Structure 1
Amino acid sequence: MKMFRSVCFLLVFSLAISVSQARSMIPRPQPLNSLKINTTQNQRSCSFTVSIRTSCYSTRYTRDQISLAFGDAYGNQVYAPRLDDPSSRTFERCSTDTFQVYGPCTYQICYLYLYRSGYDGWIPYDVTIYGYNVSPATFYYNVMIPSDIWYGFNYCYGTTASSLVVKDT
């Protein structure tokens, strides 16, 4: 009986360690101080559907200004300023908002950054981008986006975050 308790304890302990290590392996969004918006090129050749789910931990509604930038590893980038619209109830708690965004056609989307300006403290749950001839790309947040800084993910191999330049659409 004592041996059985010891084995059970070791199994439960091992499982707890495994779960905690798995949680630490989940990528977290990172700040990006050097995202530059390039307004010299104005391509509108592809349409993207952007679905943003607001966390149930977010404020009931937000007046924050929300923008996003995403792209691929080959320099094709899309910038969408001011997705917010408080009069239309966008980004309410536990809701999903869908936007059509236009920009240059991309290969597989591998980075996404959000920009929030305001005092409400909006919390996105996740962002999924659907584009022509590419797999949907989902980026999980579920944390408050700091104000006045680009915040997100860069899964592009060989592309450093500081080299990202967004082409205005």
Structure 2
Amino acid sequence: MKRKKVSKIMKTLTLILTFSVIVLSHATPTLLTRIKPQMKQSSALDDAQLQPQNLDKLNCNYRVAIKTSCLSPLITNDRITLLFGNATRYETVYVENVGGPNSKTRLEPCKTDVLDLEGPCGYNICKVLIYRSRPHNGVRRPNDDRWIVESVTIDDYRKPPITFYYKPNYIIPDDGFGYGPNYCHRD
């Protein structure tokens, strides 16, 4: 009698186990499948727009901090132009008259001036050039040649900010050429 009872319990357990295996085998894919996070449509569009072939069609925001050396004159009459970018052909953000006459930015000694700019999008900013020139009215003023930059920090809001350091007490020549660090990889 005990044997019949044990046999009946075994059959019931086998039936339950078989039923459980069948149910779980069909349910397992949905239980173990990872749910992929839904990408916002706007971020999918942003990713598509920021592909290299589209970079020249967009504008991006930049924050540029220019630190003037304490050895610079109180006010510069020099006209300062800034150019920065990456190693590709989508490289340049060009900002004329950053400091000097007719500029809101005075580039005073021991001061960091912050500019919020908009320009062509580019990845991996790795170079900055500063052009310095006298005012174009032909009048040479004292201290025209003495503005000294200490560093330029550029934040493109996509990567960590990058700081470009200039040689101490380096006066950028007024010769039509841009001067500055180039951290771009050369192949």
TM-score bucket of the superposed structures, by smaller chain: 0.5 to 0.7
- Structure 2: state its 5+ residue gaps: 1-55, 135-143
Counting matched residue pairs gives 118
Distance 2:132 2:96 in 1: 10
Q: What amino acid is the match of 1:144?
A: I
The 8 Å contact of residues 44 and 102 in structure 1, kept in 2 or not, is answered as no
Give the residue type in structure 2 aligned to 1:49.
R
For the 8 Å contact 2:145–2:174, the answer to whether it is kept is no
Q: Which has the higher helix share?
A: 2
Contact 2:78 2:100 in 1 (8 A): no
Question: Any stretches of 5+ residues in structure 1 without a counterpart?
Answer: 1-41, 160-169
2:155 is matched with which residue? 130
Asked if structure 1 preserves the Cα contact closer than 8 Å seen for 2:126 and 2:184, the reply is: yes
Q: Residue 92 of structure 1 corresponds to which residue in structure 2?
A: 108
In our comparison, the structure showing a higher alpha carbon Rg is: 2
Deviations 1:92-137 (A, max 9, x none): 1111111122111111110110000122420011100010212211
The AA in structure 2 aligned to 1:47 is N
Equivalent residue for 1:55?
69
- 1:85 Cα shift? 4.4
Counterpart residue number, 1:154? 182
- Closer, same or farther: CA 44–147 of 1 in aligned 2, 3 Å: farther
Deviation at 1:86, TM superposition (A): 3.9
2:97 maps to 82
Does residue 104 (structure 1) correspond to residue 120 (structure 2)? The answer is yes
Per-residue CA deviation, residues 128-160 of structure 1 (Å, 9 max, x unaligned), is 00102122111111311111321112121127x
One-letter amino acid of the structure 2 residue matched with residue 122 of structure 1: W
Per the normalisation by structure 2, the TM-score is: 0.58
Alignment identity in percent? 42
How big is the shift at 1:70? 0.7
**Structure 2 letter corresponding to 1:82:** N
| Aligned partners of 1:59 and 1:120 also within 8 Å | no
SS of the residue corresponding to residue 151 of structure 1 reads: coil
Note if 1:139 corresponds to 2:164. yes
Partner amino acid, structure 2, of 1:96: T
CA distance in structure 1 between the aligned counterparts of 2:89 and 2:127, rounded to whole angstroms: 11
The structure in which a higher percent of residues are strand is: 1
Query: Letter of the aligned partner of 2:93 in structure 1?
Result: V
**For the aligned residues, what is the CA RMSD?**
1.9
Deviation readout 1:67-86 (Å, 9 max, x if unpaired): 11111122222111111244
1:124/1:56 Cα in 2 relative to 1: closer, same or farther (>3 Å)?
Answer: same
Kindly state the Cα deviation for residue 61 of structure 1 after the two structures are TM-superposed.
Answer: 1.3
